[in-house]
C-alpha cells in the first residue's frame, strides 16, 4: 500500500487533532455546494485502516483553478483494516471507493497544489463473521501532496499524486490517494 506503520501512526494522531471551525465551514464569503456542513462526530471505536484508490476527474487538474466531479468507479481500491469490526475479527483487505465533487480548497480554487471537495465513500471489509459494508461521507482538503479528511466515518490523512498526467506540464485526469486513519463503522455519518 505504500503507507508504513510510522506513517499510519502519524495519520492517526492527525485524525485526532480538531480542525478549526473556519476551515470546516469553507472560505468566508463563498460557502457554495462544496463547503462542508457541520462535521459529524463519529461514535464507537475507530478501526485503524489504510486505503489506496484512484479517482477519475471530469475536469482535469492543472495550474489553473477548476471545479468538477470525481469517481473511483465503485469499490475499485483497497482498504486494509486491523482489529475487530462489529464484534468480528477483520480477516484481510477489502475494497474501497469514492465519488463526489471537488473545487475550492484552503488557499483558493482546486489546482495541482491545493483544493478540496466532498462526497461519499463505500467499503466492504471481510471479517470472520462475513463481509461488512460501510458507507459514509467525506469532506477533504489538500495542500501540495498531503491532505486531510476531517469529518465523517473515515477521518484520515492522505497522500495525493497525479495519475494520468503530471499536473504541471499535462493536466491530471486522475488522482491517486493513499490514506490512513480510523474507520468508524458502528457510528457517525
One-character DSSP codes across 7-56: HHHHHHHHHHSPPPHHHHT-STT--TTTS--SPP---SPPEEEEEEEEEE
* Residue 69 within any structural domain of the chain: yes
What is the model's pLDDT at position 109?
72
Does residue 171 surpass a pLDDT of 70?
yes
Query: Which ranges in 17-171 belong to alpha helices (H)?
Result: 21-24
C-alpha distances out from residue 64 to 39, 48, 100, 102, 186, Å: 29, 36, 20, 14, 40
What is the model's pLDDT at position 108?
67
What range does the domain containing 105 cover?
A: 47-183
Question: Which residues have CB under 8 Å from 108's CB, separation 6+?
Answer: 65, 114
The chain-wide mean pLDDT, for the chain, equals 78
* Residue 150 within any structural domain of the chain: yes
* Residue 11 within any structural domain of the chain: no
Taking residues 37-43, report their average pLDDT. 46
* Residue 165 within any structural domain of the chain: yes
* Residue 148 within any structural domain of the chain: yes
Does residue 18 surpass a pLDDT of 50?
no
* Residue 127 within any structural domain of the chain: yes
- Segment 66-83, tens digit of pLDDT: 899 999 999 999 999 999
Could you say which DSSP state residue 185 is in? -
Number of domains in the chain: 1
Q: Which residues pair with 121 in a beta bridge?
A: 98, 136
Name which residue leads in pLDDT, 3 or 100: 100
- Segment 57-70, tens digit of pLDDT: 999 988 888 899 99
Q: Domain containing 54 — which CATH number? A: 2.40.128
C-alpha neighbours within 13 Å on the C-beta side of residue 110: 25
Longest dimension (CA), the chain: 49
Taking residues 137-161, report their average pLDDT. 91
* Residue 70 within any structural domain of the chain: yes
Q: What angle do CA 178, 79, 50 make, to 5 degrees?
A: 50
* Residue 143 within any structural domain of the chain: yes
Amino acid at each position: 500500500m505504500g503507507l508504513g506503520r510510522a506513517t499510519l501512526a502519524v495519520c492517526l494522531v492527525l485524525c485526532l487533532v480538531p480542525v478549526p471551525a473556519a476551515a470546516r465551514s469553507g472560505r468566508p464569503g463563498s460557502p457554495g455546494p462544496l463547503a462542508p456542513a457541520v462535521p459529524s462526530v463519529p461514535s464507537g471505536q475507530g478501526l485503524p485502516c489504510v486505503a489506496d484508490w484512484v479517482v477519475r476527474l471530469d475536469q482535469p487538474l492543472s495550474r489553473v483553478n477548476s471545479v468538477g466531479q470525481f469517481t473511483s468507479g465503485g469499490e475499485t481500491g483497497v482498504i486494509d483494516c486491523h482489529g475487530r469490526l462489529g464484534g468480528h475479527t477483520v480477516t484481510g483487505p477489502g475494497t474501497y471507493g469514492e465519488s463526489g465533487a471537488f473545487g475550492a480548497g484552503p488557499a483558493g480554487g482546486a489546482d495541482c497544489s491545493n483544493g478540496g471537495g466532498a462526497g461519499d465513500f463505500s467499503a466492504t471489509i471481510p471479517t470472520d463473521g462475513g463481509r461488512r459494508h460501510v458507507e459514509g461521507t467525506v469532506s477533504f482538503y489538500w495542500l501540495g501532496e498531503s491532505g486531510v479528511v476531517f469529518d465523517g466515518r473515515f477521518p484520515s490523512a492522505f497522500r495525493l499524486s497525479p495519475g494520468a498526467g503530471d499536473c504541471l506540464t499535462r493536466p491530471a485526469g486522475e488522482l491517486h490517494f493513499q490514506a490512513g486513519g480510523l474507520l468508524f463503522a458502528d457510528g457517525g455519518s
